[in-house]
Structure 1
Amino acid sequence: MNIVRTAMLLAFMTALFMAVGFLIGGRGGMMVALVVAAAMNLFSYWNSDKMVLRMYNAQEVDARTAPEYYGIVQRLAQQAGLPMPRVYVIDSPQPNAFATGRNPENAAVAASTGLLHALSYEEVAGVMAHELAHIQNRDTLTMTITATLAGAISMLGNFAFFFGGNRDNNHPIGIVGTLLAVIVAPLAAMLVQMAISRTREYSADRRGAEICGNPLALASALSRIASAAGRVPNYSAERNPATAHMFIINPLSGERMDNLFSTHPNTENRIAALQRLAAEMNLSSTPARPAATPARRSRSVPTAGWGRGGSEPPKGPWS
């Protein structure tokens, strides 16, 4: 049902984009808008992951530089039947995480140092399982397309504001059509983008809980991340608000949950859904951490958050 709903919303977004082009320039404007949308989506398809990771100065880690964190992702990817994604760390005190990439074969997951320090092993596993669920559901590609189309519609709206619509007598746009292109279309595009984001989060929560086998750990992680996100700023996200929908919890300090303009569902509603899933799975408490082979610690640390100066091994609540 989520796939059908997302497809319908994407179709609406594309039609809206072409309609704005028509309002501005008639049939010719509609075709130009379609070509621009295709070019932007093609560029985003190949480069969106690199652009986002660069925005957050994410540092890639491996089994040597971050053994526990990398091991969690590796174990969960195997359980989900996914190729091993690239693994990144963001040096940010706000606990949060996101996934990116055009497909499972070219995917990446990123967690902040704040998340790795503040959450337990089971909670980190729940969060990373949620991000792997986004990859498995190809949500990263869907959200890239919607974000690109929403941005392009806003761009066309600005163009209509400064240059006006087609004044041809055979194209009755007038001031009303211009206002639609400037105000209504970008607003509708933003609402569609947010609707897709909220739909995808519930789906990723459920699939992530199935991957890690621990809905309650993911629920606990959501509660702790949401609480910290309201107190700890994420300056990179504040500078790039268009990427807020990628995170497991909205990282922006000014966001308001559970309203028409929210990129994420209400956290309490997500937690309640996970608790119901735990009841279905007959889970009443958080399972113990699975046994793991001791990992070799590294003397080289990729970010300041794990061992200032690079002379200490990675630190975390499970180390």
Structure 2
Amino acid sequence: MTGYLKTTVLMAAMTGLFLGIGYLIAGAGGALIALVVAAGMNAFAWWNSDKMVLRMHNARPVDAHTAPELQEMVVQLARNANMPVPAVYIIDEDQPNAFATGRNPDNAAVAATTGLLKRLSQEELAAVMAHELAHIRNYDTLIMTVTATFAGAISMLANLALLFGRGRNGSNPIALIAMMFLAPLAAGLVQMAISRSREYEADRAGAEICGNPLWLAAALKRIQGFAARIDNAAAERNPATAHMFIINPLHAFKHDKLFSTHPSTENRVAALEKLAAETGQSRPSSVPRSGRGAQTGPWA
């Protein structure tokens, strides 16, 4: 199953679960109310999520004057991707990591930590930024905002069902209690499955944008190594944002577990190495850093 088809199926499952809970609480009217609530919550998240997330992580905007190398790299990569240039932010955080946010390609931002800028080579950094641009171009930032909102709304509905449920399951408190626990669990599993699917797609598209899958493979391995031993305080305070980062900022997973927001780094690297072999790139090429020689990378 392709990544896009899998995401569509999972989104349909999330929507069906949400409407199903509304129906169980109050029949067809409950399903309609649930739909209206979901629309309102998603509209709010769609308009405000980027500002909220950037504020949570104390991200500061930069430009061609305050971070010329990073800004120029993002501009060139966006040109490669045939998309608008997003706003660029830096997070004062030692753990190397990055994320993208925004409701659409015209209103988006990419954020990189100071640890990422300090610890990665230019080609690895370009690959990470290309991955984040791929998320924006693929509308993953919108998809994940919607799924996170649905997951939260499902948890809310499940708790309301226990407090006020007198409809189809009102005479069965055991069923209501089961729904209170199982519905949010199911929603969380679907949300995480969508997140893992979108990461694989962004890896593939990001490798295409930067020009070399092995740059991204090397970056993922390097980030994973540091993220496993460097805490990200802001992410620990806001674990709901963990799925946004290129590598889970909270902890590492060895396998694509059901409760993981990210695929395992080993699996992602293997997929990128396979892509590199298919495109005839057996080893990463070297690119001089901006300001220390001419930019010869494919983003220039």
Counterpart residue number, 2:82: 81
Structure 2: distance between partners of 1:113 and 1:230: 17
Q: Would you say 1:190 and 2:191 are equivalent positions?
A: no
Counterpart residue number, 2:100: 99
Structure 2: distance between partners of 1:232 and 1:255: 15
Instruction: Give the 3 Å change call, closer, same or farther, for CA 130–142 of structure 1 in structure 2.
Output: same
Provide, for residues 93-144 of structure 1, a one-character-per-residue CA deviation record: whole Å limited to 9, x for no partner. Answer: 0000000111111111000001000111010000000000111111000000
Matches within 5 A, 1:116-135: 116-135=117-136
Provide, for residues 216-264 of structure 1, a one-character-per-residue CA deviation record: whole Å limited to 9, x for no partner. Answer: 1110110011111110011111111111110000001376653110000
Q: Match for 2:225 among 227, 250, 257?
A: 227
Identity between Structure 1 and Structure 2 (%): 61
Matches within 5 A, 1:227-306: 227-253=225-251, 257-289=255-287
One-letter amino acid of the counterpart of residue 140, structure 1? T
Counterpart residue number, 2:60: 59
One-letter amino acid of the counterpart of residue 193, structure 1? Q
Matches within 5 A, 1:34-183: 34-161=35-162, 163-166=163-166, 168=167, 171-173=168-170, 174-183=172-181
Cα displacement (A) at 1:181: 2.4
Q: Secondary structure at the match of 2:106?
A: helix
Instruction: Give the 3 Å change call, closer, same or farther, for CA 198–60 of structure 1 in structure 2.
Output: same
Instruction: Give the 3 Å change call, closer, same or farther, for CA 250–257 of structure 1 in structure 2.
Output: farther
Cα displacement (A) at 1:164: 4.5
Matches within 5 A, 1:13-28: 13-28=14-29
8 A Cα contact 2:213 2:276, kept in partner = yes
One-letter amino acid of the counterpart of residue 189, structure 2? L
Provide, for residues 57-78 of structure 1, a one-character-per-residue CA deviation record: whole Å limited to 9, x for no partner. Answer: 1100011100111111111000
Matches within 5 A, 1:197-236: 197-236=195-234
8 A Cα contact 2:224 2:265, kept in partner = yes
8 A Cα contact 2:99 2:244, kept in partner = yes
Q: Secondary structure at the match of 1:286?
A: coil
Q: Secondary structure at the match of 2:204?
A: helix
Structure 2: distance between partners of 1:111 and 1:294: 21
Q: Secondary structure at the match of 1:102?
A: strand
- Structure 1: unaligned runs, 5 residues or longer: 296-319
Greater Cα offset, 104-113 or 20-29: 20-29
Q: How many residues are paired up?
A: 291
8 A Cα contact 2:69 2:290, kept in partner = no
TM-score scaled by structure 2? 0.92
Structure 2: distance between partners of 1:36 and 1:113: 39
How big is the alpha-carbon RMSD for the aligned residues of Structure 1 and Structure 2? Answer: 1.8
TM-score scaled by structure 1? 0.87
8 A Cα contact 2:100 2:136, kept in partner = yes
